[in-house]
Amino acid sequence: MNGRMKICLAFLGNPLHDSRITNLSCSMKKDGCEVSVIGFDWFIAPSNYSAEGIRIFKLRKGRLSLFFYLRFALILIRELLKSDAGLFFAEDLYTLPFVASVAKLKRKKIYYNSREIYSFLGGLSKRPLLQRAVTSIERFFIKKVDLVMTTGEMDSVFLEKFYNLRNTIVIRNIPLFQIPAGIHDFRKMFGIAEDKFILLYQGVLLNGRGVPLIMRAMVKLPQTVLVLLGDGEKKAAYQKLAVELGITERIIFAGSIEQEELIKYTAAADSGLSLIENISISYYHALPNKLFEYIMAGLPVLASNLPQMKKIIDEFGVGEAIDIEDEENIVRTLQKWIESPELLQYYRINCAIAAKELNWQKEYERIRVKLLNIGTYD
């Protein structure tokens, strides 16, 4: 690289709680890049935030989504126009039209982080008009970017065929290699009895992530407690469901945790859950960061048997990938784990071995040359 590369990342979300942005920006800074991040928050941050190249703008969601997105768009365009970056990252579909337009205006490079198959999100499955609109927007702007980043091989293959692309690169959502230190004890924090088996779900609380499935299974597993690390639009619905099922005392909504502290919480559970439902192409392709975060924390993983998650779990022997359409299957598997501490220990040992391979340092080293050396930057 000639000179100091200036990079701007834009994201409709809080970057302080996003491992992909945190890891990528930190690694690029270590490579001598000057990185700025534009983010937006409507759940966690009480006000605007600015520090160390990160600016987070507080948005409020009212009854009319139009005003929310209009304010988001106006702020983002303003900040992008002020930026003197030579390389712009659209960190999701929502920022893509604005990042692509401003970067093209400035004649700068554009990368698009396709975190999911946005045209086939679970929430669009029963909204065909909106799905067509999303597809049209992505189809138009994805042709304007210089590099499309995906989270898994199946996503790259799909997008290359669907949009006739040749410029994708796989960057999995993998955490930094670290050994958990100073673990936060859930039992002390939340008054959980020693004989309880702690299940952990971490991530955004949305449809299709399997939270209601595990809550219903817990009715038949009285020795289990579920800790939810994260917030989202379904929180109130899950709180109501816990009341209906009579398990409120065994469901803990612990809120969102910043990335630097997350592993200390993750390691405090007995099992990590990634029960993603097969409700769309995007979900069928799932290879979420929580899967790798559980492994890094030494946590046996119970996941749905979707192909990319199953491949990782089977290859490294870090848990089980099961058919989650049968509720009894979830119950039987967890009961087996509760009654087999030696099996859980086997999975934990394999997690420690897998973590040496499945870490961000190795992932970034694999892609850094292609990521930072395409074209000439200002």
Same domain for 291 and 165: no
Same domain for 210 and 158: no
Q: Classify residue 1: in a domain, yes or no.
A: no
Q: Classify residue 28: in a domain, yes or no.
A: yes
The per-residue pLDDT for range 96-140, each reduced to its tens digit, is 999 999 999 999 999 999 999 998 887 777 788 989 999 999 999
The per-residue pLDDT for range 349-369, each reduced to its tens digit, is 999 999 999 999 999 999 999
Q: Residue 239: pLDDT band by 50, 70, 90 thresholds?
A: very high
CATH number of the domain at 271, please.
Answer: 3.40.50.2000
Structural domain total, the chain: 2
Q: What is the mean pLDDT of residues 220-235?
A: 94
The per-residue pLDDT for range 254-288, each reduced to its tens digit, is 998 888 889 999 999 999 999 999 988 999 999 99
β-pairing, 271-274 vs 251-255, is: unpaired
Q: What is the mean pLDDT of residues 343-350?
A: 98
The per-residue pLDDT for range 297-332, each reduced to its tens digit, is 999 999 999 999 999 999 999 999 999 998 899 999
- Asked whether the CA dihedral 251, 228, 310, 345 is positive or negative, the reply is negative
Same domain for 191 and 70: no
Same domain for 240 and 147: no
Q: Classify residue 181: in a domain, yes or no.
A: no
What pLDDT, on a 0 to 100 scale, did the predictor assign at position 378?
A: 44
Same domain for 139 and 26: yes
What pLDDT, on a 0 to 100 scale, did the predictor assign at position 258?
A: 81
Same domain for 193 and 158: no
Candidates 287, 265, 261, 292; CA nearest to 276 is: 287
Amino acid at 127: R
Same domain for 255 and 154: no
Q: Classify residue 170: in a domain, yes or no.
A: yes
Q: Classify residue 47: in a domain, yes or no.
A: yes
Q: Residue 1: pLDDT band by 50, 70, 90 thresholds?
A: very low
Same domain for 135 and 221: no
Beta strands in the chain (DSSP E): 6-11, 34-41, 49-51, 54-58, 87-90, 109-114, 147-150, 168-170, 197-202, 224-229, 251-255, 271-274, 301-304, 319-322
Same domain for 194 and 161: no
Same domain for 70 and 24: yes
Q: Classify residue 363: in a domain, yes or no.
A: yes
Q: What is the mean pLDDT of residues 287-291?
A: 94
Q: Residue 244 has which token pair?
A: 């209906």
Q: Classify residue 179: in a domain, yes or no.
A: no
Domain that holds residue 320: 186-355
Same domain for 153 and 196: no
Q: Classify residue 217: in a domain, yes or no.
A: yes
Same domain for 364 and 333: no
